[in-house]
Structure 1
Amino acid sequence: MDFLAGFSAAQIAVAVAATLGAAFIRGLTGFGFGILLVPILALALSPVEAVLAINIMAGLLALTEIRLILREAERSAVMISALVVVGTAPGLMLLAATPQDVARFLIALVALSAFVAILLPRRGAAQPKAGTTAAVGLSAGLLTGFAAMPGPPVVPYYVGRDIPRITAKASMIGIFGIAAIAGIGSGTAIGVLEGKTVALGLALFPLVLFGNWIGSLAFGKVSDRLWRSFVGTVLGAAAIAALVKLI
């Protein structure tokens, strides 16, 4: 465990427990990994460390599901992914320049916004206009860099429409994978990605695979209303817990 010497036992314990739970939710729904994990992990690590460690785990996980992405994802995911890459570096630079307590507070608010978005009424199956799609991509990129959370704009875009659940899941997984890779690249380029953060992300990845696999077993076996309610409850609890801890 010498490669994790830069972290305390308490930090590692929090990271292990939170990662396993977030990975289960991600396997069940196709989203929620960063939204759930960042507010918790950022309380034990610095926000930059938390964001980059999660990007490492999310990027590796997406690579294991590339066949699902190519087979089932909606074409809009290509445009959104490209714009995520554009917006990620500015978001990460903003995070690095923001005081840690302020960053933690803003990250918790982002998580809370995802909870609110899940509660919005569902729309038709038609793909939104190009301007809306572009706004989703750019905002998801900024949130990827600042909070490892491309989900708040992306999740309502897909889950809020009457499209097949597998299409929504595959599209989100693909976008989140590109977002994670963009986050890693941006962190390396601006010099904030440290070796200990890479080591932590790699060490936690087997837990991500396990939790995601367990969650995937439940995918499609629960009703749409049940899984939306379950995820919404967990998202709200994670955001509120982070806000209460900060206050």
Structure 2
Amino acid sequence: MLIADFTLLQIAVALASGFGAAFVRGLTGFGMAILLVPVLALALTPVEAVLVTNTVSLLLGLSEFRRLRQHAERSAWVIAGLVLLATLPGLAVLSATPAPLARLLIALVALSAFAAILLPSRPADLPGKATTALTGLSSGFLTGFAGMPGPPVVPYYVGRAIPRAMAKASMILIFTFASGAGLASGALLGELHWRQLALGAALLPIVLLGNWLGSLAFGRIADATWRIFVAVVLAAAAIAALIKLL
């Protein structure tokens, strides 16, 4: 029996990409949306890809919420609040954008994250209020438009000399709020339907497995190796999405 009238090919793409994206998330603290949305957008509409990803990301984040609350940096709560404010405008723009153009822009968003991570490493000190505000607002807009809160958030934390466990928890906490904001915005705009929720929920078991395996690997690699892997993942996601589109 098919899930919510999605085809076998669409379900297979969602399962395979969901497992891979979840493994990377468990290892790096991000990557779920950056990897999953561009691939799903090739099999589903861009709006469906974003909302399915938001569904499974929210469920996964809620399963880890106690740990995230303990280890996240305080700035994560500020950024998460701003994400809630800026997500609805992003989804509204996505809904009005033709699908081919939206797919290209989503791929370019993934590419921008790779470019940002190449910037020089910064001290552990908290960035200024303006930088934090811009990070939160741009992350919220990209949550709505591309289902990708990561491009502004990853450089904010990974680019600073803070413990990687804190960076990972901070990013995932923000992404959990972003996923909830994305679903709420989809519902307000009439874009969220039960079939997207059903597919996202159906992906949860395979995503939990992938995330668990990635988390096991997280504790076994050196900090420098982890940061290199972050850059490689961002580059691979962006390049693969662009090749498939062009």
How many residues align? The count is 246
Q: Distance between the aligned counterparts of 1:246 and 1:220, measured in 2?
A: 35
Report deviation, 1:193: 0.7
Q: Distance in 2 between matches of 1:2 and 1:242?
A: 27
User: What is the one-letter code of the residue matched to 2:238?
Assistant: A
Aligned twin of 1:113: 112
Q: Following superposition of structure 1 onto structure 2, how do residues 178-217 of structure 1 map, counting pairs within 5 Å?
A: 178-217=177-216
> What residue is the counterpart of 1:4 in the other structure?
4
Worse-matched range after superposition: 118-127 or 221-230: 221-230
Q: Superposition pairs for residues 52-91 of structure 1, below 5 Å?
A: 52-91=51-90
Secondary structure of the structure 1 residue equivalent to 2:234: helix
Moved over 4 A (4+): none
1:174 paired to 2:173: yes
Q: Which residues of 2 match residues 23-172 of structure 1 at below 5 A?
A: 23-172=22-171
The TM-score with structure 1 as length reference comes to 0.97
- Code of the residue aligned with 2:201 in structure 1: it is L
What residue identity is the alignment partner of 2:63? Answer: T
Q: Structure 2 CA distance, aligned partners of 1:63 and 1:45? A: 25
User: Aligned-residue CA RMSD in angstroms?
Assistant: 1.0
Whether contact under 8 Å (1:118, 1:228) holds in the other structure is: no
Amino acid at match of 2:184: G
TM-superposed deviation, 1:2: 4.3
Unpaired runs of 5+ residues, structure 1, are none
| Aligned mates of 1:48, 1:204 — CA distance in 2 | 17
Which segment is superposed worse, 96-105 or 237-246?
237-246
CA contact (8 A) 1:40 1:238 kept: no
Q: Distance in 1 between matches of 2:7 and 2:117?
A: 35
Distance 1:43 1:136 in 2: 28
Answer whether contact 1:140 1:149 (CA < 8 A) is retained. Answer: yes
Quick check: 1:4–1:200 contact (8 Å CA) kept in 2? yes
Distance 1:239 1:70 in 2: 30
Task: State how far apart, in whole Å, the 1-side matches of 2:230 and 2:39 are.
Answer: 16
User: Which residue number corresponds to residue 242 of structure 1?
Assistant: 241
Q: 1:119 to 1:220 in 2, by over 3 A?
A: farther
Cα pair 2:19 2:210 within 8 Å, conserved: yes
Q: CA deviation at 1:135?
A: 0.3
CA distance in 2, matches of 1:219, 1:93: 36
Runs of 5+ consecutive residues of structure 2 not aligned to the other structure = none
User: Is the contact between residue 14 and residue 41 of structure 1 (CA under 8 Å) also seen in structure 2?
Assistant: yes
**Percent of aligned pairs with the same residue?**
62
Cα offset, 1:192, TM superposition? 0.2
Distance in 2, Cα, partners of 1:123 & 1:188: 39
1:232 CA displacement: 2.0
**Alpha-carbon separation, structure 2, partners of 1:50 and 1:31:** 17
TM-score by length of 2: 0.97
C-alpha displacement of 1:228: 2.2
> Which amino acid in the other structure matches residue 93 of structure 2?
L
